[in-house]
Amino acid sequence: ITRIGLIGAMDEEIHQFRLDLETEEIQVRSGITFYLGEINGCFVVLCKSGVGKVNAAVTTQILIDVFDVSHIIFTGIAGALDEQLNVGDLVISTSAIQHDIDATALGFERGQIPMQSSSSIFMPDLNLVDLAEQAANKVLSCRVIKGRVLSGDQFIADIDFAKKLKLDFDGSCVEMEGASVAQVATMSERPFVIIRAISDNANDEATMSFTEFTELASQQSYLLVSEMLRNI
């Protein structure tokens, strides 16, 4: 039985979904509010994780352990690293990595979780990726790319740092939750995908752009994901 865990980090990222949700039940765990109900004929547990990797990890584990979700979709906004991306464009994850993990002093690669035999690059479910791509083709006319999502507990607003991230990790966009959701989902063998719309270019204008375009970008991600829910 399909039960979608749908996560956004901020109010703006889940607002439209809440308007659509025919809520049957609200539950609070660890200070996070979970809204259970239907969107477009699909059973959904919707929540706002809060910003950053710890909030995202806790939220994802609760979705799995308490609400027994079958799939996890993250919807939200990101800074662009790929130069062909503009504000409002979309990234569908093909992999996710935590760019701020650094045990290079111990001989590990940047982004590699030390002393862990499994990969530190987390792979989404290919069916969800396909579904996202089909939904994008149907409802969006902006650029939509498939690429790697980089996550860290840092808001990136520095063009040199953004370029280095792109070069070092081959990322398409940077945000603060996706790879954390991805790791927790992978540990519990739950299929996931991360959908991110661009709010800024992670450069020196990122703060202004983020403020101005959070809502627009959130709406773009919403359009894609709500079409996905129709077909899941």
Residues carrying an active site annotation? 13, 200
Question: In whole angstroms, how close is the CB of 76 to ligand ADE at the nearest point?
Answer: 8
Q: Choose between 17 and 210: whose C-beta lies nearer to ligand ADE.
A: 210
Q: Could you give the CA distance from residue 186 to residue 188 in angstroms, rounded to a whole number?
A: 5
The tokens for 99 are 């760019």
Among 69, 92, 135, 156, binds ligand ADE (CB under 6 A): 156
Q: Check residue 200 for interaction with ligand ADE (CB under 6 A).
A: yes
Q: Choose between 52 and 191: whose C-beta lies nearer to ligand ADE.
A: 52
Q: DSSP for 15-67? A: HHHHHH-EEEEEEEETTEEEEEEEETTEEEEEEE--SSHHHHHHHHHHHHHTT
Residue of minimal Cβ distance to ligand ADE: 79
User: Inter-axis angle of helices 206-231 and 11-20, to 10 degrees?
Assistant: 30
Question: In whole angstroms, how close is the CB of 217 to ligand ADE at the nearest point?
Answer: 8
Q: Choose between 186 and 201: whose C-beta lies nearer to ligand ADE.
A: 201
Q: Check residue 147 for interaction with ligand ADE (CB under 6 A).
A: no
Distances in whole angstroms, Cα of residue 75 to Cα of each of 85, 139, 186, 218 = 17, 16, 18, 8
By the 8 A CB rule, do 217 and 198 touch? yes
Question: In whole angstroms, how close is the CB of 156 to ligand ADE at the nearest point?
Answer: 4
Among 155, 212, 215, 230, binds ligand ADE (CB under 6 A): 155
Residue 136, φ and ψ in degrees, nearest 5: -60, -45
Spell out, one character per residue from 180 to 199, where the chain touches ligand ADE: x when CB under 6 A holds, - when not: -------------------x
Q: DSSP for 174-205? A: EESSHHHHHHHHHHTT--EEEEEEEEE-SSTT
Q: Could you give the CA distance from residue 55 to residue 8 in angstroms, rounded to a whole number?
A: 11
Q: Which of residues 51-90 bind ligand ADE (CB under 6 A)?
A: 77-79
Q: Could you give the CA distance from residue 158 to residue 146 in angstroms, rounded to a whole number?
A: 24
Q: Check residue 227 for interaction with ligand ADE (CB under 6 A).
A: no
Question: In whole angstroms, how close is the CB of 207 to ligand ADE at the nearest point?
Answer: 8
Question: In whole angstroms, how close is the CB of 12 to ligand ADE at the nearest point?
Answer: 11
Among 13, 82, 89, 175, binds ligand ADE (CB under 6 A): 175
Residue showing tokens 């579904």: 131
Q: Which of residues 90-119 bind ligand ADE (CB under 6 A)?
A: none
Residue ranges in contact with ligand ADE by CB under 6 A: 77-79, 155-157, 174-176, 199-200, 202, 206, 210
